[in-house]
Structure 1
Amino acid sequence: MRSHPIADSSPPYVLGTMALTGYYGTISEEQAAATIERYLDVGGRYIDTADLYANGGNETLVGRCLQGRRQGVVLATKFGYTFGERADQRGLDARPERVQPACEASLRRLGVEQIDIYYLHRVDPNVPLEDTWGAMSRLVEQGKVRALGLCEVGPHSYRKAAAIHPVAVVQSEYSLWSRDPEEDMLDLLRAAGSWFFGYASLGRGFLSGTVRRPEDFPPEDQRRDMPRFQGENFQRNIELVDALQQLAADLGVSAAQLALAWCRRDGLASPIAGATLPAHVDDAQQAVALDIPREAWARLDAVFPMGAAAGDRYNASAMQRLQTGR
């Protein structure tokens, strides 16, 4: 097993910032900044953003919050999408000639000289992965980037990239109701010495139990376009949340804390915990420190077997962009 280019061990959790710039509804810039600052205040050191989020606005927000606080923070961002105000205006473009200008634009927005982890946000089916990854590896040689990561890939794509340059991190959706990485990726990554970060670790907030009706989503909330939050799927998935809440109550913790702790069990994954309030940061801090009895994991596995959630996690066009399993 090779040494990891970032640190000897993966973080307890990563702060995901996507929701801070409107993905699930509008929040104030003051609230967003306070959330990031709270994470830094309690000793958090891993922050995840992307150039796609708010068409670069999320990176700008993160950069402002890091002014004077950059030291010791592992900063990750991503490229590979074209910008657009609506989802149907965004496409994949990971041509190698885009790599350098995309990275330099992110560096400017973030106000930093180096990005710690630079991800390919999605594999572009129109561009050989080897070409994109080779161009990204040159960023490491230039000192603009410390390490490289991939999002939503399976073993085949991982091995193609790793043959050219080490893959420091793979990031995929991973939660009680999105367990696909357990099939063929987690063991592979552990053997290779790569980290795994699981985003949407609370099922895009659904596993917290705070959403009870589709109408609870704001009109601009992009979850409205996701099959798991629609019609009969929504009602079937509420039953899973109810069972999770009962298990959490039996343990004296919240559903969100139990769901987040489950992702971290036995060091399998570092969850990417999205937050929109400083209180969410405090909740995540408590969750990753919980000592949950092993029998609780067996009870959760019985409620949330592989494929338990009803409905796909993205709409049809977004599902086609996933390379998981390939």
Structure 2
Amino acid sequence: MMGMNYHRGLFPDLKTIATLTRHAVEQGVDFFDTAEAYGPYTNEELTGEVLAPFRGKVAIGTKFGHSLDSDGLDSRPERIRQVCEESLKRLKIEAIDLFYQHRLDPNVPIEDVAGAVKDLVQQGKVKHFGLCEVRAETIRRAHTIQPVTTIQSEYHLMWREPEKDVLPVCEELGIGFVPYSPVNRGFLTGAINEYTNFNIGSDNRNILPRFTSEAIRANTAVVEVLNRFGRTRGVTTAQIALAWLMAKKPWIVPIPGTTKLAHLDENLRAADLILSPEEVRELEDAVSQITIVGDHYPASEQSKVGK
């Protein structure tokens, strides 16, 4: 739901958002992702409004962990409780299906964070606990206090860091994994080139190292690999990127975002593309020959992930 009003160029109007959401639900989509920080606040409000007709038929995940007044991090238990109450009102629901810590707060032990969410679960205000962009040790520590349901981190063919230690601990502990930006913020669709303008609206790609003209020019080789692979199968590069993720593990659930009906249908059709282990290896071998240019975050943001 983030693209409705945050970090992605020009935003659709409410009627378009409602139409897109209704179509998604009719096609079987039953999980939607938002956050207090998207906007801030307005993304949750929009999510609550457009999903109101489908209450009880869909699950909503939202996030806490930011100090929106100071542009820093704040996961103090009292702040978690405050965000929960405010998010429930904005989302127009009685319980948050999945409550993520958006970024690890170095000033608050993860055990205290998990304990605060555990209290909210016991009170019936939260159903499940999730973490975003954390390392394996943090997951283990949190899980001992309150079972972690899901980890959300960036993961796609151009960024495979979670494979090192996060995915193994997820499999060990029975935790799901939700890759955000599964088509690398649109890059793996093939629709972006070195002349693409990201200075529209609030599009954050204009500050990401991987989206400089030089990086795009170099990394287009990855899209060419997907193009060759898809051409013989009658599928798009985005569908291959999504199918690759779903082929990795049955408990990996990517959350591609879009503001366009055609792209929504394209993404959903990826679920029908089943890659064999041999095809997965073929893709990975081809992409591994390419040197990816550009970090996935600038230094100021990179310091907040993988903790």
- Shorter-chain TM band: over 0.9
Structure 1 residue 33, shift from structure 2 partner: 2.4
Letter in 1 for 2:24: Y
Partner of 1:54: 39
* Deviations 1:271-311, CA, capped at 9 Å, x for gaps: 11111112222112110121334332122101223994211
Structure 1 distance, partners of 2:67, 2:186, is: 26
Partner of 1:239: 221
2:139 pairs with 1:158: yes
Structure 1 distance, partners of 2:251, 2:218, is: 27
Cα distance, 1:299–1:18 mapped onto 2, change above 3 Å:
same
Unaligned 5+ runs, structure 2: none
Cα distance, 1:306–1:40 mapped onto 2, change above 3 Å:
farther
* Deviations 1:87-139, CA, capped at 9 Å, x for gaps: xx622111111011111110000001111100000111122111222111111
Structure 1 residue 197, shift from structure 2 partner: 0.7
Identity, % of aligned positions: 38
Partner of 2:250: 267
Structure 1 residue 214, shift from structure 2 partner: 4.3
Structure number with greater CO (CA < 8 Å, separation at least 6) is 1
Asked if the contact 1:214/1:234 (under 8 Å) is kept, the reply is no
Asked if the contact 2:194/2:213 (under 8 Å) is kept, the reply is no
Structure 2 distance, partners of 1:319, 1:120, is: 16
Q: What SS class does the counterpart of residue 32 from structure 2 fall into?
A: strand
Cα distance, 1:122–1:43 mapped onto 2, change above 3 Å:
same
2:63 pairs with 1:67: no
Partner of 1:102: 83
Structure 1 distance, partners of 2:179, 2:131, is: 12
What are the equivalent positions in structure 2 for 1:53-202 lying under 5 Å apart? 53-83=38-68, 90-202=71-183
Asked if the contact 1:171/1:197 (under 8 Å) is kept, the reply is yes
2:23 pairs with 1:42: no
Asked if the contact 1:24/1:218 (under 8 Å) is kept, the reply is no
**Match among 10, 28, 32 for residue 12 of structure 2:** 28
Structure 2 distance, partners of 1:313, 1:307, is: 16
Q: TM-score, normalised by structure 1?
A: 0.89
More displaced, 235-244 or 191-200? 235-244
Structure 1 residue 242, shift from structure 2 partner: 1.8
Asked if the contact 2:17/2:50 (under 8 Å) is kept, the reply is no
More displaced, 150-159 or 296-305? 296-305
More displaced, 274-283 or 109-118? 274-283
Letter in 2 for 1:240: V
Unaligned 5+ runs, structure 1: 1-16
Q: TM-score, normalised by structure 2?
A: 0.94
2:304 pairs with 1:297: no
Partner of 1:283: 266
Asked if the contact 1:76/1:119 (under 8 Å) is kept, the reply is yes
What are the equivalent positions in structure 2 for 1:222-237 lying under 5 Å apart? 222-237=204-219
Partner of 2:3: 19
Partner of 2:301: 318
Structure 2 distance, partners of 1:241, 1:286, is: 19
Partner of 1:9: none
Asked if the contact 1:33/1:61 (under 8 Å) is kept, the reply is no
Cα distance, 1:149–1:184 mapped onto 2, change above 3 Å:
same
CA RMSD of aligned residues (A): 1.7
Cα distance, 1:216–1:244 mapped onto 2, change above 3 Å:
farther
